[in-house]
Chain A
Amino acid sequence: MCGIVGLLLKDPDKQDFLGEYGTEMLVGMATRGCDSAGLAAYTNEVSEEGVRKFSLYSSSDSIDWNALTKAMREDLDCEIDLKANYNHAVIVPYGPADIVWRWLFENCPEVHILSIGRSIEVYKDVGHPAEIAERYNLRGLSGSHLVGHTRMATESAVTWAHAHPFTVGEDFCLVHNGSLSNPHSLRRMLERKGIHFDTDNDTEAAARFLEWRLREGDDMETALKAAFRELDGFYTLLIGTNNELALVRDAFACKPAVVAENEGYVAIASEFRSLAHLPDVQNADVFEPMPEEIYVWNKQSVVAS
């Protein structure tokens, strides 16, 4: 049970304010849950062939990110960009992503990968949304779009790993408000296909299901239609990819969502109070997504399908 927010800025001039707007939206949803919070921003896309950006989380507070990148640089013989924030860091190693991944796995057991992709950066942790926004300077983020979440844990534990967004695959993230009623059978079905789970959170089952469908060749719409058939319970899901935001609600549509759209942006939240501070929202087209309708907004051409 939670609050969700999403923002896609159509106006390039506004992209410097992504973090500013997004933080206001996230903190506005703290009333719907303040066990933990998280945000995925799509920013500073890496263009070099084969190069990926990694968002990292250290379960040890005393991590020395400079030392880590130095060691990695020496071992892998490549340049690495580093942006460190306490136990979070975003690194861009200019070397093959799979080798970077293996190096981290073998050398830094306390470091967990929150996301991999060309543009995604993920920040999430236990605590009040306002505190998390402050700790990781979320206001300072710029970029094209973001997905955020404030959590009131239902059945699974309150840990950084159980916080949303959940990421699977590259540049893919998902947040969820609601409660699935068949997450364990979904999970068992996916595990039999060799898919690994990090947590027992119901949202992870939804995320891995969609990623599996996309990997099998479905486009987003086909994957979401498959999700309507397989996912039971109540959910509003907001999905981010490198180019788009997608939003769906289950057939009962018992968990809230509201969309405000104008020439400058598309903003999504569980409640209007998270949108109230956006510029010129009074003149935006405000609507509520319909049950089992698929809404996709693309970075280039913002179209609802």
Chain B
Amino acid sequence: MSVGREVVFNQNGQIVSFEESHLYNRNVQQWIYNAAERGIYDIRGLGAKRRVPHFDDLTFLTASLTRYPLEGYREKCSTKTILGTRYAKKPIELDIPITFAGMSFGSLSANVKEALGRAATAMGTSTTTGDGGMTEEERQSSKTLVYQCLPSRYGFNPDHLRKADAIEVVVGQGAKPGGGGMLLGQKISERVAKMRTLPPGIDQRSACRHPDWTGSDDLTIKIEELREITDWEIPIYVKFGATRVKDDVKLAVKAGADVVVVDGMQGGTAATQDVFIEHAGIPTLAAITQAVEALEEMDVKGKVQLIISGGIRTGADVAKALALGADAVSIGQGAMFALGCNSPVWYDKNGKPISAVKDYEKLGTKPGFCHHMQSGKCPVGITTQDPDLEQRMQPEWGARRLRNYLQVLNFELTTMARACGKSDVHHLEREDLVALTVEAAAMAKIPLAGTNWIPGSSGL
């Protein structure tokens, strides 16, 4: 956002200075022009674009003399992660603490769903269905598949439930806590429509509350029903967007969750109102600390596992989330970028790069700025149901990219853990971190670097 003075030369070569209003800058003006012109709010994809305190504002205190680092690549550093140990007979066992978040078939192509499954299986982690049911491609390709139970219940059925390795009851997501969804007609292909029991091509509205329960007391009963149907075998996760996190985590635990999934405000979406994405929820950094405090206050830390999502991009983010107390993380947007989201090129079957710039232009955007998942015209073939466009992302190619990405995240994670002297990534702790900004220190309750000061605490 460009604000302040701008220097421009007029036709005579003289300097002309303009002063732009901070309050009504060109972005705001344009927004108001659009609102007045079209009479509708903006619907878009991706997550919050504004800057909020994040994991970048933390840094590790790695080993020197007080602590002994472990040798990279030689001395063991375990990344094994177990989720769902509270009630389920068959908890989820993962090789790495990095999972794929729920993203729907409908918002993503079947190829992408397959690629996610293949990569997750290769790396020993889990993937998750989305608001649109389970596809054969993803069930086949995923060793460990988490089946979402969403307000819409599109395609939800007992056969898929019994095929699932875990169930995730989705109360909300970080991009739009408290809101439903909107999948525009151009993405409702025949197959998507059939899976969702909707006429093809219509704009599809998703509900914001579940159809058969309301509130945590009734969620308790719903969770028990799902357990009864699956004979208490598989874990049940409860996922929500980060708002009143401490109370919500406590309620999810009281309602009987095995795993709580907290999605911060930077979490992504395929399509929702822009006002939701930018103006609802709290940053992931603040959410994780509140969630951990809730689990500790209830004395269930380690018994009920915590998955954090919303803006996890790098191995450093993963390591910081684990140090702050998460048991695992979930990634959505990061995986999409790994597949080439916003890339200027896509690759044909021979691996030849082909420019997608013109297709971005058709959407009124350019590579690096695109957030038009809702359009269904993804220039690189990820968020589309168009039979031609979806060919731009082949499952083998995508799976390799995703596997590489997960591998780098995991390398970075173990690099940092070893440097902190940990033989297990789950031994990272909050005291291994300091904050670089006052805001991050206050939200994460981590001391500001070089001090013992945690804003808001009564200590020194």
Contact = CB atoms under 8 A, between A and B. Distances in A.
A152 B254 contact: yes
B231 to A, nearest CB: 20
B217 A152 contact: yes
Contact of A155 (B215, B218, B247): B247
A60 B250 CA distance: 27
A177 interface: yes
B122 to A, nearest CB: 42
A154 interface: yes
Contacts of B12: none
B217 A2 contact: yes
Contacts of A299: none
Main secondary structure of the interface of A (DSSP, over half): loop
Nearest to B224: A31
Contacts of B220: 31-32, 152
Interface in A4-33: 31-33
Interface in B188-221: 209, 214-218, 220-221
Nearest to B247: A155
B220 to A, nearest CB: 7
A234 B217 contact: no
B405 to A, nearest CB: 39
Contacts of B218: 1, 256
Given A31-B221, A152-B254, A254 B214 contact: yes
A32 B214 contact: no
A178 interface: yes
B221 A154 contact: no
Contacts of A234: 214-215
Contacts of A87: none
B244 A254 contact: no
Interface string B417-455: 000000000000000000000000000000000000000
Contact of B215 (A1, A31, A35, A153): A1
Contact of B251 (A31, A152, A178, A255): A152
B214 A152 contact: no
Interface in A148-191: 152-155, 177-179
12 contacts: A1-B251, A2-B217, A3-B217, A32-B217, A32-B220, A33-B254, A35-B254, A152-B220, A152-B251, A152-B254, A153-B247, A154-B247
Interface of A: 1-3, 31-33, 35, 152-155, 177-179, 234, 254-256, 270
Closest 10 interchain pairs by CB? A1-B217, A254-B214, A32-B217, A1-B216, A1-B215, A155-B247, A152-B217, A152-B254, A152-B216, A33-B217
